[in-house]
Structure 1
Amino acid sequence: MINLDCDDLFDIWRQQARWLLSHEVDPSRVSWASEGVADLFASDESLPETQGPFQARIPRTLLDTLERVARYRGDQRWSLLYEVLWRVSHGDRTAMMAGDQIGSELQRRIKQIQRESHHLHAFVRFVATPENEGPHYVAWHEPAHDILHSASEHFIGRMGRHRWLIATPRDGVYYNGKQLIHHRQCPVEWQQLAQNIDDPHGDMWLTYYSHIFNPARLNPKVMQGHLPARFWKNLPEGALIPGLITQARTGKQQDGQASGIKGRGGKRIVLADAERGQGS
């Protein structure tokens, strides 16, 4: 078996896959190391030194799809892509379709990538920094897949000319007002800044969230489907969620309001004489 390492970079994998295809190396003979861990059954078999005679014709749409799916972190991250590429290059396009076993997994990964990108857009909480030469806003996020670089472009048009930074346990991005800079290994100072900064408006945010919470409409399963529990720890309102769920389950659902709102007295509305006349 041929053991390869693309350093989890699509461009390197693409070059390796093109070379393999040129020699028509079957997917069963190739293994890619992931996260620096080599395949247990890999041998010392090496790639041929010269390019092979087979010239594959690959649709551009497939390459775009494979590049998107390459952001998925999981088992057979690169081997699955090569199997799809191998089959399509040999005339079997069902490998891209949901009705096929491999195609079904490919489509599932596409959906996971799209969902994780949406999570970045929905759950990033930027915090303003003191005036300095660095970023105006910083955020900490923990994505499950390698979507930060591509998905963070979403914020360029929404943050105006502000400088902003998003740090993760793996990589980080910084927009300096002109271009988006991506570091595959997030600088430690970025991580420390994003994790330790205090939000001066944090108390206001918690007050807002606790008051709009409606226990009567709580459905924990649906809520966690839209807001997975793994994100709670990094959201300012996350610390409130378990307590609000407990309150709802212990009788607050009948109130239909947050407890702080329910306890407030209402105001009596008196109609003017003209308004009474219109209603009669």
Structure 2
Amino acid sequence: MISLDCGDCFDIWRGQARQLLSHGIAPCAVTWAGAGGDLFASAGPMPLGQGPRQPRVPAQLPGLLCQAARYRGEQRWSLLYEVLWRVAQGDRSAMLAGSDLGSELHRRVKQVRRETHHIHAFLRFVPAAEGAAEDAAVGAAGPQFVAWHEPAHDVLGDACEHFIGRMGQARWLIATPRDGAYYDGQTLQYQRHCPAAWQHLAQGGDDPDGGLWLAYYRNLFNPARLNPKALQGHMPGRFWKHLPEGPLIPALVSDAQLGKRRDGQAREVARLKGKRVGKG
């Protein structure tokens, strides 16, 4: 068994996969065990250089594999190689959603796309702490806005370009437990391994006007239209802890379920001061 480690990098995996394919190495003879190793895999040599075979695959397959490669899960790289192997052998059904293998491939692509939507929707920038960028290796000026996010899959590398158009010429930094991105107003810098200084900087931001947003969100919340299942579907609970309004949501949901859905708005309106209008 050949045990490989691509460092969770698609470009490295692609080079390894090409080399394996050229030597006719079947999926059952190779595993991507990662840094932790595989207790059940005996060490085997990786064939040197390119082999005699030059398999061809459909043009759309590399892009599909690249998207699925961002999915974090079991057999992350082995599944991709099995799809690639079978398609290279002439079985194109392996990349189609109608087959068992293709169904899992497309499920992973769908999850990655959904997570990309989540980072666009739920990542929140806050002003960077003054003077905190001095040791963050992001230039003298440093970011104006920072954000901390914990995506379920490796989507930041592609998703971060969205924020260039969204934030204009502002300087910003996004950090996650794995990777990070910094935009200085002109150039986007992406790091596959987020520096600890970036992570510290991203988690140290504070919004001085956060209270205004919380007051707005609390008063905008309509208990009569609450649908907890839809809420969890569109905004999974794992994001709440990193959203400014996140701590408010459980209490708002609880109040709505305990009767405020019926009479909460009427009670709040009754507390407002006003003047009596007499009959004309």
TM-score over 0.5 for the alignment?
yes
Alignment partners' CA distance in 2, 1:160 and 1:269? 49
Alignment partners' CA distance in 2, 1:79 and 1:18? 13
Identity %: 61
The residue number in structure 2 matching 1:125 is 124
Q: Tell me the CA shift for residue 267 of structure 1.
A: 6.9
Contact 2:129 2:206 in 1 (8 A): no
TM-score, with structure 1 as normaliser = 0.91
Q: Tell me the CA shift for residue 50 of structure 1.
A: 3.9
TM-score, with structure 2 as normaliser = 0.91
The residue number in structure 2 matching 1:116 is 115
The residue number in structure 1 matching 2:24 is 24
Q: Tell me the CA shift for residue 229 of structure 1.
A: 0.5
Q: 1:235 aligns with which of 236, 243, 249?
A: 243
What amino acid is the match of 2:258? T
Alignment partners' CA distance in 2, 1:78 and 1:264? 60
The residue number in structure 2 matching 1:38 is 37
Contact 1:211 1:258 in 2 (8 A): no
Alignment partners' CA distance in 2, 1:219 and 1:212? 15
Q: Tell me the CA shift for residue 196 of structure 1.
A: 2.1
The residue number in structure 1 matching 2:57 is 58
The residue number in structure 2 matching 1:70 is 69
Q: Are residues 253 and 167 of structure 1, via their aligned partners in 2, closer, same or farther at CA, if it must alter by over 3 Å?
A: same
Query: Does the residue aligned with 1:156 lie in a helix, a strand or coil?
Result: helix
**1:94-105 paired onto structure 2 within 5 Å:** 94-105=93-104
Q: 1:165 aligns with which of 163, 173, 195?
A: 173
Q: Tell me the CA shift for residue 265 of structure 1.
A: 4.7
The residue number in structure 2 matching 1:83 is 82
Q: Tell me the CA shift for residue 48 of structure 1.
A: 1.9
Q: Are residues 200 and 91 of structure 1, via their aligned partners in 2, closer, same or farther at CA, if it must alter by over 3 Å?
A: same
Q: Are residues 124 and 267 of structure 1, via their aligned partners in 2, closer, same or farther at CA, if it must alter by over 3 Å?
A: farther
Alignment partners' CA distance in 1, 2:266 and 2:243? 20
Contact 1:139 1:167 in 2 (8 A): yes
Alignment partners' CA distance in 1, 2:267 and 2:147? 31
Alignment partners' CA distance in 1, 2:74 and 2:270? 50
The residue number in structure 1 matching 2:195 is 187
Query: Does the residue aligned with 1:3 lie in a helix, a strand or coil?
Result: strand
What amino acid is the match of 1:83? E
**1:134-149 paired onto structure 2 within 5 Å:** 134-149=142-157
The residue number in structure 1 matching 2:210 is 202
Deviations 1:224-257 (A, max 9, x none): 0110000000000000001001101110000363
Which moves more between the two structures, 216-225 or 49-58?
Answer: 49-58
Alignment partners' CA distance in 2, 1:130 and 1:45? 51
What amino acid is the match of 1:20? L
Q: Tell me the CA shift for residue 264 of structure 1.
A: 2.2
Contact 2:129 2:204 in 1 (8 A): no
The residue number in structure 2 matching 1:107 is 106
2:272 paired with 1:264: yes
Q: CA RMSD in A?
A: 2.0
Contact 1:213 1:257 in 2 (8 A): no
Q: Tell me the CA shift for residue 186 of structure 1.
A: 1.3
Q: 2:231 aligns with which of 223, 245, 252?
A: 223
Q: Tell me the CA shift for residue 97 of structure 1.
A: 1.2
Contact 1:172 1:185 in 2 (8 A): yes
